[in-house]
Structure 1
Amino acid sequence: MGEHSYLPGHRHGGGFLDRLGEGLLAALRHGLEADDLSRRPGLLQGLDPRVKLGGALALMLMAVSVRSLTVLAALLGLAAGLAVASRVPLARLMRQVWLGVLAFTGLLALPALVLVPGRPLLHLPLLPWPVTLQGLRSAAFLVGRAETTASYGLLLILCTSWPHLLKSLRLFRVPLVLVVILGMTHRYIFLLLQNAAEMVEARRSRSVGPLPPRERRRLAAGAAGDLLGRALHLGAEAHLAMLSRGYGGEVRLLDDFRLRRRDGAALAGLGLALGAAWWWGRP
């Protein structure tokens, strides 16, 4: 992309194209940062992908099954500790998981505060129903479980390269067609984002002044149609090229997975954590 587009004060096509181009570039940067995190030296990055996938699934299952808020908070704290040990910024977890999940799940949990029967805690103005202790506990469980499971899922994705994660899914007997769809989607979504960013950049370089609303709508519709055509053409060409090279759907990598001492230690620690969570989280 042209360097003139990033010079201070140099704007083409008004705020609409600027915001659109910046949004596309931000999405590309987001993907590159996630890929860079999986290559950093850290606790989770050094483990076998199968151990990480199995451990994340086990911890998620434990988070949705415990009956103690203290244990649930400890599991969330464990996720934060793993993020720090793996050099994943906590600000990223907060921005991508904690705030969004709190806002969305919190809205879903609000009715439980007054609809779940139990011992009244306080009366809200303009509402005939009191907030109950059991309702507050139910809402806390819903939000806490969503926060914890989403945190472990994000850590798994950020600390594992995508090809290794796909290969681990096949080892866990995930259907081949689902693995192929995930692999192709991840691979070509960034290519299409780059194409869209280049289209916007080309339009910005030929624009003088802000675009009227009608022109913005026409530009957005035309770009969407062009990207759809490119995606269909690229998908067909890529599929034919893969078949001509003997692709049968399996994820094949040059490096094979091997369990090491650190993986054994991680499995032992996982077993202790799950055992303690089960013991203290029993109803």
Structure 2
Amino acid sequence: MVAATKSSQFQIGWLEKTLSGISSSIEQAVFTEEHSHKNGWLQRIDPRAKLGMFLCFVLAASLSRSFFALLICYLVLLLAARASLIPFDFFVRRVWIGIPFFAGIVMLPAIFFTNGPRLFDLPIGLYHFGPSIESIWSGCIFILRVGVSVSLAVLLILTTPWADLLKSLQALRVPAVFTLLLSMTYRYIFLFLHTANGMFEARKSRTVGRTSGREQRQWISGSMGSLMHRSFRMSNEVYAAMMARGFTGQIRSYSAYRMRWLDWLALGISFLLSIVLVISGGYLR
């Protein structure tokens, strides 16, 4: 009896944590949308020019092999985020909480499986493993490159409304099918989360006493099947409603695009700066 009660408490606690995670995800998305409407530097730039600027820096970060060049690029990003009224701690935490962990897992084999002089050996049977100074330095460059690229993507999303970003992709001749799928995925993932949130609230409001772990697991499995069924039905209904209203596959936005000379200047400076970062990477080691 005690074991069943503990199992029930564990399941209820897990569901409550899931609910809080869903709510925080939705609130985070709304909070992110608020940053794109601030009167910052990047928010005032035309979305097409902004997308071109970020593409230049992403290519520069991908091609650069210098730690110091990447560090300079990241400092420029921090200045741009500051000028765009993005909170410093929010921007840094959003990028660097998970990057060192996942990038480190990817780089661990390359750091320890090296040839030549090592800092120390880890003998395992007939094989010897160990990091070298060069492999550690290469791992740091890789992590910083990933951090710069993710920071660019996060800063672009934070300072650009989603509809304007999709319309900018159309200006770059990205296939309409890709932008349509991206738009639908972004919009209806939150509706899907709200549906899951409502199901949990309905379950919690109708539960009077404690339930066993078996009943909790049965409800979770049944809810997953119900959510899957609702998502398929909702996708068909949404598509039918869009076609009935004359949808042609074109993303529309309320904002009127107009490239000013300041937008062209920012795009040109970003292009030249990205070239300088790539070239200087051969000298800044």
TM-score, length-normalised on structure 2? 0.87
- The Cα of 1:100 is off from its aligned counterpart by 0.8
- Count of residue pairs the alignment pairs up: 271
Q: Which amino acid aligns with 2:32?
A: A
Does the 8 A contact of 1:69 with 1:141 survive in 2?
yes
**Inter-partner Cα distance in structure 2 for 1:223 and 1:82:** 44
Equivalence for 2:254: 254
- Cα deviation, 1:159-213, whole Å, max 9, x if unaligned, reads 1111111111111111111111011111111111111111111111112344422
- The Cα of 1:118 is off from its aligned counterpart by 4.6
Does the 8 A contact of 1:117 with 1:135 survive in 2?
no
Matched, 1:222 2:222: yes
- Cα deviation, 1:220-267, whole Å, max 9, x if unaligned, reads 222222222221222111111111111110112233211124313312
- Cα deviation, 1:98-133, whole Å, max 9, x if unaligned, reads 12111011121122223233554x215667344222
Equivalence for 2:156: 156
Matched, 1:85 2:86: no
- The Cα of 1:23 is off from its aligned counterpart by 1.7
Equivalence for 1:236: 236
Does the 8 A contact of 1:119 with 1:134 survive in 2?
no
| CA separation of 1:129 and 1:222: change in aligned 2, threshold 3 A | closer
Q: Which amino acid aligns with 2:83?
A: A
| CA separation of 1:20 and 1:210: change in aligned 2, threshold 3 A | farther
Equivalence for 2:200: 200
Q: Which amino acid aligns with 2:196?
A: A
Does the 8 A contact of 1:117 with 1:134 survive in 2?
no
Q: Which amino acid aligns with 2:256?
A: D
Counterpart among 120, 124, 132 of residue 123 in structure 1: 120
**Inter-partner Cα distance in structure 2 for 1:204 and 1:147:** 41
Matched, 1:68 2:70: no
Q: Please give the residue correspondences for 1:20-31 in structure 2 after superposition, counting only pairs within 5 Å.
A: 20-31=18-29
Instruction: Tell me the secondary structure at the aligned position of residue 45 of structure 1.
Output: helix
Equivalence for 1:53: 51
Does the 8 A contact of 1:59 with 1:274 survive in 2?
yes
Equivalence for 2:5: none
Equivalence for 1:113: 111
**Inter-partner Cα distance in structure 1 for 2:230 and 2:236:** 10
Q: Please give the residue correspondences for 1:113-192 in structure 2 after superposition, counting only pairs within 5 Å.
A: 113-120=111-118, 122-123=119-120, 128-192=128-192
TM-score, length-normalised on structure 1? 0.88
Equivalence for 1:39: 37
**Inter-partner Cα distance in structure 1 for 2:12 and 2:112:** 49
- The Cα of 1:77 is off from its aligned counterpart by 1.8
Equivalence for 1:98: 96
In structure 2, runs of 5+ residues without a counterpart are: 1-10
**Inter-partner Cα distance in structure 1 for 2:52 and 2:215:** 51
Does the 8 A contact of 1:20 with 1:200 survive in 2?
no
| CA separation of 1:210 and 1:76: change in aligned 2, threshold 3 A | farther
Instruction: Tell me the secondary structure at the aligned position of residue 39 of structure 1.
Output: coil
Instruction: Tell me the secondary structure at the aligned position of residue 146 of structure 1.
Output: helix
Q: Which amino acid aligns with 1:193?
A: L
Does the 8 A contact of 2:123 with 2:129 survive in 1?
no
Does the 8 A contact of 1:48 with 1:263 survive in 2?
yes
Identical aligned residues as a percent:
34
In structure 1, runs of 5+ residues without a counterpart are: 1-12
- The Cα of 1:55 is off from its aligned counterpart by 1.2
Equivalence for 2:276: 276
